Structure 1
Amino acid sequence: MPRRRDEMVPDAEFRSYYGQPVIKQPLWHEPHMPAYLYLGGLSGAAGVMAAAARLTGRDRLGLAARMAAFAGAGAGTVFLVAELGRPMRFLNMLRVFKLTSPMSVGSWTLAAHSGLAGVAAGSAVTGLLPLAGDAASVASGLSGVAMATYTAVLLADTAVPAWHEGMRELPFLFAGSALASAGAAVMLTTPRALAGPARTAAAAGAMAEIVAGGLLEHRLGLVGEPYRTGRAGRLMRASRVLTLGGGLLATVAGRSRALTALSAVAITAGALCTRFGVLAAGRASARDPKYTVVPQRDRLDAGRPASVPGR
């Protein structure tokens, strides 16, 4: 009686060509890129908060949110230009607009959002052209939604396994982190009696970030391993602790200056740990070829097509 194939041939141990990476590691630098991811997300979510505050008549809260959106966009652009090496490289990305390119869409989103946030903040500070300032604030709220999440799409559109396979969760992780970051910044710069909506946003964003991060780490199976081990694992665990602590403090801070400040600092530190952790996980998954080869083999064995970025 012939023996079955799985009884004759043992499972092969994973090997690659001399253990060399299959894909190139991301060339992004620290702290430039993680800082840009954090500041861009903060600016986008703050723009949304500013628009909501204007539409609900919370002028003082809206002023703080407009300033946070403008400061985040400005500082984020500085870090992005530092990452690119020289300003002309950013300007070159604005020469064309290509809907199928996350980098092109992101560049135009950043340029549009920064300009709108600047007009909204300038009008609020000087009192000039209030109608134009209000219109710019509402428009920056719309662009802010894209601003808070497009960087996640940019990462997922690469061939880096830990990013590409996390395309479902990364936008929610970045959106939650952005909302928590913006809420933390706004509640620090708004009188405590008027900062209730900012504290609520910070707590809600913190919970969303924690849930999305947990789903990201566990759904990916083997490819999610870099988020749980090494430097990335330490950063992601620190992010959960800081974000959870900051979110809980935001719900009980009330009018306490000390608790408000502690909550904002914890949420900000957690958001930064998330950005640094995601970048470290991507590098680790690109460095080890098993995260590229093993999932491809599993998909082929299951009769499914390979997952190709950009399709």
Structure 2
Amino acid sequence: MTAPDPRDSDPRDREALTGVAAGRRRRRERRGEQPMVPKAEFTSYYGRPVIKPPVWKPLDIAGYLFLGGLAGASSALAAGAGLTGRPTLARNAQVAAVGAIGLSVVALVHDLGRPARFVNMLRVAKPSSPMSVGSWLLSVYGPLAGGAAVSTVTGRLPRLGLLAGLGAAVTGPAVAGYTAVLFADTAVPAWHDGHRELPFLFVGSAAVAAGGLGLATAPLRETWPARFLACAGAVTELTASRLMNRRLGMVAEPYRTGRGGRLMRIAETLTVAGIATAVLGHRSRALSALAGTALLTASAATRFGVFEAGMDSARDPKYTSLPQRERLRAGEGSRAVTG
């Protein structure tokens, strides 16, 4: 028995095909098979970040985010409680707002290094700068919140205190949410790409914190506005978080992995548990206090989680370069279709 002559076979079987031709032939011969070579991962020169991560201190800036949100939402809660005849809840919320905004300014100044840097930001009003707008918001909101609290605690100048409280309630939501615009205005991928949902996430988290504080400190008969605010804030926060994770794609990975992901999962778990406890235990003072503590902790974990996720996305070059490449390809494809 003799071996077959190689010359009798189809010449195309002996061709060394590469590139597109080889791919087409393999697809014709073996439908449905996956390539054996894994997709290459992006790395930058020497593994260095493409952008420079912010030099902000985690405790100062994440604490500033949490305290500012707590203050702004507490002023809104205090106004609602005062107008509906719940004096203890109104007083507690006003005092909490003053304390929180004072500590938040201290944290901000500590991160800046010296108070003169904060004062210098007030030399010019620049509407296009979130930092400038935020500095002026703090300068307007702080005295209003302080005047309302002093009037309520001392019982003096009640009309002036009422006006100050209403002014703080109007500017409070802006204080709670402007930091989201400030973060989204940076080049940090996890913050910048989440510019649509971050304001809702921050305002919702602030409402959760203020509602939790009200549940923990007010008499049981006056906690209904705090419970309602906490529930509304939780729905807003959780919805915004889910939408952001779905829309951002791979850029949302830092919100699910690492330190930021752990904090975000803790925040979500505590938020759901706190709301369930607040609703089911609305007749128990102990359960209301427990729910309020859980909601306060959840809000703080959310702010620290967002901060850590952004820092992780800034350190890893793939979150900067790969989305840019995808946008360039999408732009080239749309121009080709238009042409």
Asked if these proteins are the same fold (TM beyond 0.5), I'd say yes
Contact persistence 1:67–1:121 (CA under 8 A): yes
Q: Judging changes above 3 Å, is the alpha-carbon distance between structure 1 residues 5 and 66 closer, same or farther for their aligned structure 2 residues?
A: farther
- Corresponding residue for residue 264 of structure 1: 292
AA partner of residue 197 (structure 2): E
Q: Percent identity?
A: 54
- What CA RMSD, in Å, does the superposition of the two structures yield over aligned residues? 2.2
**Residue pair 1:186, 1:195 contacting (<8 A) in 2 also:** yes
Q: Does 1:207 find its partner at 2:230?
A: no
1:67 and 1:184 mapped to 2: Cα distance? 15
Where 1:254 maps in the other structure, the secondary structure is: coil
Q: Is the 8 A contact 2:216 2:290 kept in 1?
A: no
Partner residue of 1:224 out of 252, 270, 273: 252
Report runs of 4+ in structure 1 exceeding 4 Å deviation: 2-8, 10-13
Structure 1 residue 134: Cα displacement: 0.5
Q: Kindly report which structure 2 residues correspond to 1:69-218, keeping only aligned pairs within 5 A, or say none.
A: 69-218=97-246
- Highest Rg: 1 or 2? 2
Secondary structure of the corresponding residue to residue 166 of structure 1: coil
CA 1:17–1:140: 2 relative to 1, 3 Å? same
Structure 2 residue aligned with 1:308: none
In structure 2, distance between residues paired with 1:18 and 1:225: 22
Q: Secondary structure at the match of 1:303?
A: helix
2:216–2:293 contact (8 Å) kept in structure 1: no
SS in 1 for 2:43: coil
TM-score relative to the length of structure 2: 0.84
- Distance change (3 Å), C-alpha of 1:296 and 1:129: same
**1:37 offset after TM fit, Å?**
0.5
> 2:321, 2:107 → 1: CA distance?
34
Give the Cα separation in 1 of the matches to 2:152 and 2:41: 63
**How many residues are matched?**
304
TM-score, normalised by the number of residues in structure 1? 0.92
Helix, strand or coil at the partner of 1:302? helix
Contact 1:204–1:247, Cα closer than 8 Å, also in 2: no
Question: What does residue 307 of structure 1 align with?
Answer: none
Q: Tell me by how many angstroms 1:151 deviates.
A: 0.5
5+ unaligned residues in a row in structure 1: which ranges?
305-311
Deviates more, 1:292-301 or 1:89-98: 89-98
Letter in 2 for 1:183: G
- In the TM superposition, residue 17 of structure 1 has moved relative to its aligned partner by 2.0
